[in-house]
Amino acid sequence: MAMRGYWDEFWRELLREGTQAYACTAGIKGGVARCRNLIPCSAHPDGTPKAPRPDRVLLKVNLSKAWDDRFQKAGIPLLQRTWERAQQLRADHVESAGQLGRNAFAVRTQQSPQRNQTFQGQEVPENADTGCPVFGNEGVTKGVSGQSLSKTSWDLRDAGFRLVAAHRLQRNWKPPVRLVLIFEKGQGARDVQFPWELFRELVATCFKQVDVWANERRPDNLVVHTVNCGARDDKATPAYGLRFAGGDWGVQTAISSLWITDLWITKG
């Protein structure tokens, strides 16, 4: 009881310090998706039942023209997403969100209107979401150590994931080009060749915008999580380090050596 009281007080202190928002780790709809409520969550005070674990993780990093050229020379192929494909993805997300009882536009267009975008007078089709924004609607904006992304790739490997593909994603309506690393686990997953030294050089910086999406279980039974990294700032001092945390994801705060996700799990 005394230990629980300690964590209760410590958690209140974290909230008073204005540290990073963090989503409930519990599953909803029979464990199909992760709860979107921020913790402490009144619906799941102990963080259970657990949200589904990912089978695939997409790690995406924005590339400047110079970095894009370097990864092109390193042999990473370019994938051009068409407007039609983007519209189809939007329709799929709207349908999936409806099945979960969620508003597909709640995160980007209602609570964060500044992040809504248009292209040539048309609404960008990729503004619909079905999953849970792990670090709240605004993501992590105080700076994430890019070097922790390298550690995250090793965390994924320790969890049984392998880098099965990598490409550069281009969308004319939504620059810049993004480097996309695809990690999968399961029988048959094999590592592909990848310029890891170049990647470590790329992420030796601070990212001022990091979003992690824990998406719902798809009809094909696949669970995909996405990590989006942007707003590179080579002069900034990172406030956090990113952690996979077994699929819960977490950050290490500047005021504590504890991980937010570890704190919540222990608190329960």
Q: For the segment 184-202, what is each residue's pLDDT rounded down to a tens digit?
A: 998 888 999 999 999 999 9
pLDDT band for 97, please (50, 70, 90 cuts): low
Looking at the predicted structure, is the pLDDT value of residue 166 above 90? yes
d(CA 36, CA 215): 11
| DSSP structure class, residue 113 | G
pTM here?
0.82
Sign of the CA dihedral with 251 first, then 255, 256, and 262 last: negative
**pLDDT for 144-153, tens place per residue?**
999 899 889 9
d(CA 206, CA 237): 7
Q: What is the pLDDT of residue 262?
A: 45
Looking at the predicted structure, is the pLDDT value of residue 252 above 90? no
- Work out the number of other CB atoms within 10 angstroms of the CB of residue 101: 9
Closest CA to 238 of 140, 167, 151: 140
- Say what the alpha-carbon torsion angle 24, 28, 34, 36 is, to the nearest 10 degrees: -60
**pLDDT for 28-51, tens place per residue?**
998 899 999 998 899 998 888 999
Residue ranges with strand state E in the chain: 27-28, 33-34, 56-62, 78-80, 118-119, 122-123, 132-133, 144-145, 161-170, 178-185, 206-217, 223-233, 242-243, 250-251
Closest CA to 227 of 97, 140, 117: 140
Locus of tokens 């470590």? 200
Q: What is the pLDDT of residue 187?
A: 81
d(CA 109, CA 117): 9
**pLDDT for 116-146, tens place per residue?**
455 555 666 666 678 899 999 889 998 999 9
Domain ranges in the chain? 2-267
